[in-house]
Structure 1
């Protein structure tokens, strides 16, 4: 007589799946609690116990999704986020949308009810198998029987497919698990698992491919045209490297990862706002995804400007179907006539860098003058300090005291935080007003910057920063011979009050997990003042504007920090700001700056 085993296939399937994913580089698993996903959670806990993965537990799925996104942003590898069934899966949608548009690797593993429970209004049952179809690069729906699971080779193959597809964005594995959901023992194997798979999603139909703009061979720079290099989000060092080799002005967004070097033009927005300067540009080479300024978008939409978009991912076989940056508001015929999408751009044979030296020099000179006039950096009067007379020394002391007591402004905040960051630190920007202030204010500096600019939402910013901080300070790359490297830096997040409140739940710190050195600088101006820069400020009544756009609040940030166990400090002057930026940071802390 056959004795029923004390387990379902869920436990064995979860164990085999995670072990197969380990072979393809999975190092981080993020769990949100749930009943249907218990087998996956327990299997991850066992792997954590043996030191084979980093396990992170979050209280809600939206936070878990953005935490996994932050891990992947920092490491470049997909982290797995595991959820139970029902609305839990839907809470991952914002993170999946961001991952898809920012091309961040992300692995979603959702537990589901078996097929027979669908369509009959069974508890906690929803249509989730293809919920991310419009965004996931690859998805698969897999039924796991109560006492039979696919053999290990199937999971190895499945892990390989998920790994390959996740290189350019999110992937989704939906596991339909039958009860019982946990246990241990021998489970018979099935070599023919029922599965439903889809690839590409709605994003496979994008204009760049439809119009034939995507080329598979590198372009050669036309050095006869006055040219600028534009670096948007995710551009990285390749934009700076090309601008340097070509001797061209580098118009680098603060979130680009390319805002450094001799060629960087920090005040490019102001310069592009000048019609004469903008009109002199005949060609733009674009790296990354520009989103921050209307001036850049206007330049790229100019009919006389030829645009070369350098996108090595989208032009590769793995990236076919990915969204590609194209100028907005331009007809298809015009796009075909003046826009190219290429994997790389080369300098022509016999390239003479001196030909464009005067062009670059003019940009650099104008930029330096603007940057000097904008800086909030305090420069002591050294001539006065060297004086020996009482009046002069007293005057110097008064000047220094006044500087220390100077109220913090948005410009001062972003500039001081920017200057406090080093290459071993991380700086994260929320999609709020501060990132735009920084883009107009801060000088070139090789600071590792992260920001969710794929869809530019304020969702999950705290969770993303926590994921970035955790990966950079405790992850695989931060360890030397198994120990945390002493050089692990501080992560700083610049965020507005509404963006903080939007993700307040992510402030919950999980007991037993290492807490990163993270400083959250929240600028509290009691509402969404970013909208002051938009048309609505002029078209709406003051009452309507405050009611539905600015959305003022009366949240006490200190109480919020206390409730979640964060250190808290409030700063109002330059001296107080400098103090928190120069001290040692060991625990998560919230620094409130009121305007």
Structure 2
């Protein structure tokens, strides 16, 4: 249906475009303000007023991009992110890259100058078509609407095509607008009839059967299917904590240590890989061995996982045939793993008298927090109705090598494994799941500072239940594990550690977040109870 026109072709086109996005299943829009994109922004605000979509506004485009990423991760549907022209578009590049390598459906709508204002030094004008290179599934460079008949129909067709393409990763619609850049949106905007759902073509699975020396490996994005296949095959499950498969009777938590042992890692002859493993060196080393057959189940990311270019087969899905392997193979892995995984939690002596028992409990709650006990406490506090987001730091590896199996939703930006956008992504996840529980994000101090702009909520913007738990060791101590760290001299700390002395409490106060400092395990357990609003929990840690 063609709605009545306004005095601005930019507004008419934008309303038709956004309404079709809603009809095609899009429900979330994130925007950063700007003049050239004002028609899109005002149309989005009107559609939100009518209850047709949810709008989030952020002044920093990099924050907006990762917020949209988090919304898309949680909802598993495309999310729109709207910016004006110039550097605003470029600031989306980190989020677009992460979406590309993780297969997350983002749709970028960037305002731009019309043809006659490009290439002549116009203000805030650069070459925006193709700015994301190969990181988007498709780019459209759309000429400025002029009010000619058929433009609203063209806008609707463009929205349908963009949603279809975004099923495989991010896309970019570069939209030129001429003045008048917007006009009043009248009462004739009307309701939206949802489009019929598009049925996706089915995937024909590849049959596999149990075989001696088989393991299932699950990296980020693997999902619950990895656990099902390991159970159906009756084989060990080596599942990273952000895989979505870190649970079940086949789970081997201490997989790093066991892959180094001849009777375990040395006996592996086939690996079935789901997702994108990134948290250890032992897994890619295993997959590059000449005596290990590697089968990779393709994920949504842009590149097939292929360490050493040694993968024997790439498949879209697997179906298990036959009976599971005898329990002896997986059972030895699981039992050995349990014997290797220790805990920092100290159980009181059940044979002690009442006074000794009380003293032991008091000593336990007064014990200083370590990275391991921090990982255990956060995991223990998180349940299926909650969400856990892990930043790229030492802490995600501590969680991965420490925590037992539990079926909870865990996310980490492991497409490119950068520290940028961690809080923004977590806030997007929290906004999309706010009625379900608390979102906790565990990260280091540098990841906090890198995304400090994410802490800003504009007036009227929703504030979800989220805890940002900062393991503060005053710098990038993850680099202490590099081989060069012992020999690099004093310059190492300056260029790699990058120590900082920011007052996290003052930072929290400046952005209106609640703040808690934790020094003992008792304080930590108390702080991790559900918060009513955005809270930063600072946990000082030694280097």
- Whether TM-score is above 0.5 comes out as yes
Measured after TM superposition, the shift of residue 27 of structure 1 is 0.3
- Say whether the 8 Å CA contact 2:11–2:185 is kept in structure 1: no
Name the counterpart of 1:393: 354
| Partner secondary structure for residue 375 of structure 2 | helix
Name the counterpart of 1:323: 303
Measured after TM superposition, the shift of residue 352 of structure 1 is 3.1
Name the counterpart of 1:594: 540
Aligned-partner Cα distance in 2 for 1:145–1:241:
51
Give yes or no for the alignment of 1:418 onto 2:389.
no
Distance 1:6 1:264, change over 3 A: closer
Aligned-partner Cα distance in 2 for 1:150–1:548:
57
Name the counterpart of 2:340: 370
Measured after TM superposition, the shift of residue 376 of structure 1 is 1.8
Aligned-partner Cα distance in 1 for 2:149–2:235:
59
Out of 224-233 and 101-110, give the one that drifted further.
224-233
Task: Give the CA RMSD over aligned residues.
Answer: 1.6
| Partner secondary structure for residue 134 of structure 1 | helix
- Say whether the 8 Å CA contact 1:13–1:150 is kept in structure 2: no
Name the counterpart of 2:481: 533
- Give the alignment of 1:383-462 within 5 angstroms: 383-384=351-352, 392-462=353-423
Aligned-partner Cα distance in 2 for 1:413–1:553:
21
**Equivalent in 230, 253, 277 of residue 240 of structure 2:** 253
| Partner secondary structure for residue 133 of structure 2 | coil
Name the counterpart of 2:7: 7
| Partner secondary structure for residue 286 of structure 1 | strand
Measured after TM superposition, the shift of residue 540 of structure 1 is 1.2
TM-score (norm 1): 0.85
Name the counterpart of 1:518: 466
**Equivalent in 277, 283, 308 of residue 290 of structure 1:** 277
Name the counterpart of 1:201: none
After superposition, the C-alpha distances for 1:46-75 in whole angstroms (9 at most, x for unaligned) are 001111110100011000000000000000
Distance 1:119 1:151, change over 3 A: closer
After superposition, the C-alpha distances for 1:193-227 in whole angstroms (9 at most, x for unaligned) are xxxxxxxxxxxxxxxxxxxxxxx853332533310
After superposition, the C-alpha distances for 1:134-156 in whole angstroms (9 at most, x for unaligned) are 11011101012344474333222
Measured after TM superposition, the shift of residue 275 of structure 1 is 4.0
Aligned-partner Cα distance in 1 for 2:462–2:149:
35
Give yes or no for the alignment of 1:340 onto 2:306.
no
TM-score (norm 2): 0.93
Structure 1: runs of 5 or more not aligned: 187-215, 315-321, 385-391, 474-484
Name the counterpart of 2:58: 58
Aligned pair count reads 521
After superposition, the C-alpha distances for 1:28-56 in whole angstroms (9 at most, x for unaligned) are 11010111011110000100111111010
Name the counterpart of 2:200: none
Distance 1:489 1:289, change over 3 A: same
Name the counterpart of 2:119: 119
Runs of 4+ in 1 over 6 A off after TM superposition: none
- Give the alignment of 1:200-349 within 5 angstroms: 218-311=205-298, 322-328=302-308, 330=309, 335=310, 339-348=312-321
Name the counterpart of 1:576: 523
- Say whether the 8 Å CA contact 1:313–1:343 is kept in structure 2: no
Measured after TM superposition, the shift of residue 117 of structure 1 is 1.0
- Say whether the 8 Å CA contact 1:146–1:180 is kept in structure 2: no
Distance 1:149 1:143, change over 3 A: farther
- Say whether the 8 Å CA contact 1:13–1:144 is kept in structure 2: no
Structure 2: runs of 5 or more not aligned: 187-202
Measured after TM superposition, the shift of residue 313 of structure 1 is 5.0
